[in-house]
Amino acid sequence: MTNKGTNLDPWYDSYADRTAGLSASEVRALFAVASRPEVVSLAGGMPFVSALPRELVTGSIDRVMSNGGGAMALQYGSGQGTPAIREHIMQIMAMEGIRGSADDVVVTTGSQQALDLVTRLFINPGDVILAESPSYVGALGVFKAYQADVEHVAMDDEGLIPEALREAIASVTSRGGRIKFLYTIPNFHNPAGVTLSWARRLEILEICRSAGILVLEDNPYGLLSFDEPAPHAMRSVDDEGVIYLGSFSKTLAPGFRVGWALAPHAIREKLILANESATLSPNSFGQFVITEYLDQADWRGQIDIFRGLYRERRDAMLSALGEYLPSLTWTRPEGGFFVWLSLPDELDSKAMLPRAVKELVAYTPGTAFYADGQGRQNIRLSFCYPTPESIRVGVARLATVINGELDLLSTFSSARLGKPIPLREGVGTPPPNIS
């Protein structure tokens, strides 16, 4: 007799089929451990909001509440967002070459909700979404929840590879799949850290245009370049085939939960209806405060402060990787928050994580960024939140873990083959300066 076990949820058999796609992300699961003060977290992509002067925020809140607009800020609002913030959003997007009308902007509860709304509008169970290999864990969670099939498309140091995109489209089409859109993060990619070149942007747009595939361009990091600005947005050259997603979470603060979608006119209308269905209206108070901040503060100067801070932390991480893990390879981001580290083939980043936490360092295993189980030889390292000193400590601890794993594998492999066990200098002992 087979014992099927017991489910303690009395409503288990009543849930919709799509709830099978709901699962905790590997990033969120790390937060409880990584928040311990003794652990250096190189895992989460949390902006360093302490660099935002408190008086800029409190001043904006005080002015909203004292100049007669407080009652409106505390009330329900439009499902599309206030006209004032949509005009500001157009000014922000103009910095990336985008022109258009504020009427085509839909304000959302962070760009994460925009992702959800677009997926809700376009995806039936079994539809195909093309996504970079790797791709953003939060997007993959949304796609899975709506029962989409994700087809990963290969990347390199210049971003998404056009020929790989052609091959993916041909492969999906040959087996009868229906592709609804390409999801891409062209600037300072999460998790890979790379930036899609301008020539490839144009080629990818032409490929998708010819195949009748919508492009979903997600750009939360675009203004956070370290040296040269990123190429103009894909939306800047195609306003009918691209939905552009943006957010104030990385250039101001994520706690406001204000993002947006810029969509072709017909899609915009459906986005507004879906937004109203989901939330009635986006966060009115957050929109009023951000509008006041953008009206009064030197917000471009504040973004420059963030850029300098993250550049310093990127440099600290690259320097530490070069010192402690010189035999490995990693990406060199020109902006954003993340470095993508490649491990030796015999290591498994997910299996190695418990040992890393024991050594008081946390990272995100590469498996979080794939829909098909890939990524065991990769790690996403985030440099946005820890100080440069903490980054150095964290990378040193990570090196101890990686070298320890390699030493263990070498020991057991040599023992099985009856060979002498080689001793490697420094393995198993903490690198200097980690206390």
pLDDT tens for 358-394 read 999 999 999 999 999 899 999 999 999 999 999 999 9
Whether the model clears a pTM of 0.85, i.e. scores above it, the answer is yes
The pLDDT assigned to 8 comes to 81
Res 299 pLDDT > 80 = yes
Res 420 pLDDT > 50 = no
Average pLDDT, the chain: 90
Q: What percent of the chain has pLDDT over 70?
A: 90
| Residue 174 near residue 396, CB atoms below 8 Å | no
| Comparison of pLDDT for 8 and 412, the residue scoring more | 8
The pLDDT assigned to 203 comes to 98
Domain ranges of the chain: 19-51+301-414, 54-296
In the chain, the N- to C-terminal Cα span, in Å, equals 56
The pLDDT assigned to 34 comes to 61
Going across the sheet that includes 329-330, the strands are: 329-330, 338-342, 378-382, 364-365
- Report the CATH superfamily, name and number, of domain 19-51+301-414: Aspartate Aminotransferase, domain 1 (3.90.1150.10)
**What CA–CA distance (Å, rounded) separates 244 from 429?**
48
Q: How confident is the model at residue 429 (pLDDT cuts 50, 70, 90)?
A: very low
| Residue 371 near residue 131, CB atoms below 8 Å | yes
Res 270 pLDDT > 70 = yes
Residue 238's Cα: distance from chain center in Å?
23
**What CA–CA distance (Å, rounded) separates 162 from 431?**
42
List Cβ neighbours of 80 (8 Å cut-off, separation of 6 or more): 86, 105, 106, 107, 272, 275
**What CA–CA distance (Å, rounded) separates 202 from 152?**
20
- 308-352: pLDDT as tens digits: 999 999 999 999 999 999 999 999 999 999 999 999 999 999 999
Res 282 pLDDT > 60 = yes
Q: How confident is the model at residue 9 (pLDDT cuts 50, 70, 90)?
A: confident
The pLDDT assigned to 23 comes to 67
The number of CA neighbours under 13 Å toward the Cβ of 41 is 18
- 145-180: pLDDT as tens digits: 999 999 999 999 999 999 999 999 999 999 999 999
The pLDDT assigned to 12 comes to 79
User: In CATH terms, are 19-51+301-414 and 54-296 the same topology?
Assistant: no
- 104-116: pLDDT as tens digits: 999 999 999 999 9
The pLDDT assigned to 410 comes to 79
345 sits in the region (left: phi over 0; alpha: psi -120 to 50; else beta) called alpha
Residue 298, SS3?
coil
Domain 54-296 is in which class?
alpha beta
In degrees and rounded to multiples of 5, residue 358 shows phi and psi of: -60, -35
**What CA–CA distance (Å, rounded) separates 413 from 420?**
10
Read off the tokens for 235: 């939306």
Res 223 pLDDT > 50 = yes
| Residue 219 near residue 183, CB atoms below 8 Å | no
**What CA–CA distance (Å, rounded) separates 314 from 309?**
9
79-106 average pLDDT score: 96
